[in-house]
Amino acid sequence: MKALRCFSLLLSLSVVTALGDLSRPQNLSLQTLNTQYVLHWDWADDQQMAVNGTLTFTAQYLSAFQSRKAAHKQKWRTVCADVSERHCDFTDAGLNYWGIYYLRVRANTAQWFSSWTNISFCPDKDADLGPPSSVKLTSVKGDLEIVIAGPLSSTNESMKTLVQDMHYLIQYWKKPEDYKKAEVLKTKNNVVTLSELDGSTWYCVRVQSCCDFYNKTSVFSDTHCTRTEGQTPYWQIFLYFLLSLVLCFLLVLLVWFCFYKVLKSLKSIFYPNVQLPAHIQELWSPDSEKPQLLPPDSSGSVCEHLDVISAEMDTVTDAQSLNSEDQDTSAPSRHGSGDSGFNSTEEDFSRHGAVTDVQTDDVCKTNRKHTEELHNGTLELCA
């Protein structure tokens, strides 16, 4: 029995000695925004860290409900184990927004560890409320319409589902003035219309989130400015009129230019600008005489009387000449009858001449017909 007591005393002394070798973390604080929670702490014994080797930290949490149980039944959940940083992110630890928790941190080395430093935390009460996630400002018929999107949680859920009494505080002022002279509007609506404003005037707006139950207010959102509608000055109306005239004139000029280019292209395709030779252009001039294949006064036949002796007549004549020569050699007595031979020749000539005249008339008629057809064709060509 005495031996057991001595062993327990030695164990307790060793634990105290181990705990006393390292100082515990100090100045625990939480940096929060909506449902994002980061625990920070300080540890200033740098000399001890150099002596004892590498220093790390361990952070845990316990719900208030579990803290009511006996010490051996309490289930502390570790979020950061042996981290060298002096902060620990509890955002994804699954803390309930309306719950109460205890957070604790201790320092560790390879052989020693310090005592725990605790801090209590209630997100609904202690977590900071963020500003609206977006603010849109538009001018509608002389009024300003403000569309507000509430702050978002770490899971992109609207904080209005967690903070039931959350509302917005709207500040708006004229742009030349300072925000210190701004008018304030309190509302729970996400769409707000500001009326009774000056026309054609610039206004600036910023919004913050508020919770009256714990008296929490967020920082203001970014400032948004826009110009209200109003009656347009006369000089602006005149200027717009002139601009519209200039634009219309330029548009018409552009259309006309395009039409002219297209027309010119079509003309160059279907009516090419090719110069005819000079001797052909003279024929088409109004002062030039039309080409005529027939004389102007030729109304009848263009054929003159031709005396044509056929080849047959020439053959007969040659034959007669040869016979005459034979007769002259064989019967010289016949030389005396030259008149009769001459008369015979005249008779043959007159007979063949008559035939030739008939043939000549036929040829003239045929030539006259061809001439008329050629003349008509020429006239049609000239036309």
Query: Tell me, what's the pLDDT at 199?
Result: 85
> Cα separation of 23 and 13, whole Å?
17
Spatial contact of 183 and 142, defined as CB atoms under 8 Å apart: no
SS3 233: coil
Query: Tell me, what's the pLDDT at 270?
Result: 81
Query: Tell me, what's the pLDDT at 48?
Result: 55
Please, what is the end-to-end C-alpha distance for the chain in angstroms? 152
Query: Tell me, what's the pLDDT at 43?
Result: 85
SS3 302: coil
> Cα separation of 373 and 323, whole Å?
48
Query: Tell me, what's the pLDDT at 145?
Result: 94
Give 10-residue mean pLDDT values along the chain (383 residues). 37 41 89 96 68 82 89 89 94 94 93 92 95 93 92 93 92 86 93 90 94 93 90 80 94 94 86 73 65 51 52 52 49 41 44 45 53 48 39
> Cα separation of 146 and 151, whole Å?
16
C-alpha separations of 306 from 311, 312, 353, 362, 364 in Å: 15, 17, 11, 12, 9
Q: How far is Cα of residue 184 from the mean position of the Cα atoms in its chain?
A: 44
C-alpha separations of 103 from 30, 63, 248 in Å: 10, 9, 74
DSSP-assigned letter for residue 190: S
> Cα separation of 383 and 375, whole Å?
12
Q: The whole model's pTM is what?
A: 0.56
Spatial contact of 167 and 188, defined as CB atoms under 8 Å apart: yes
C-alpha separations of 18 from 11, 22, 298 in Å: 10, 8, 151
> Cα separation of 290 and 382, whole Å?
7
Question: Which residues, 6+ apart, have CB-to-CB distance to 101 below 8 Å?
Answer: 61, 62, 63, 64, 95, 120, 121, 122
> Cα separation of 125 and 98, whole Å?
8
C-alpha separations of 155 from 151, 152, 295 in Å: 11, 8, 113
Of 63, 105, 113, 68, the closest CA to residue 85 belongs to: 105
DSSP H or E run through 93 = none
Query: Tell me, what's the pLDDT at 177?
Result: 80
Of 365, 293, 351, 283, the closest CA to residue 317 belongs to: 351
> Cα separation of 258 and 249, whole Å?
14
> Cα separation of 192 and 146, whole Å?
5
Question: Which residues, 6+ apart, have CB-to-CB distance to 141 below 8 Å?
Answer: 229
> Cα separation of 184 and 132, whole Å?
16
Query: Tell me, what's the pLDDT at 279?
Result: 75
DSSP-assigned letter for residue 212: T
Question: Which residues, 6+ apart, have CB-to-CB distance to 125 below 8 Å?
Answer: 214
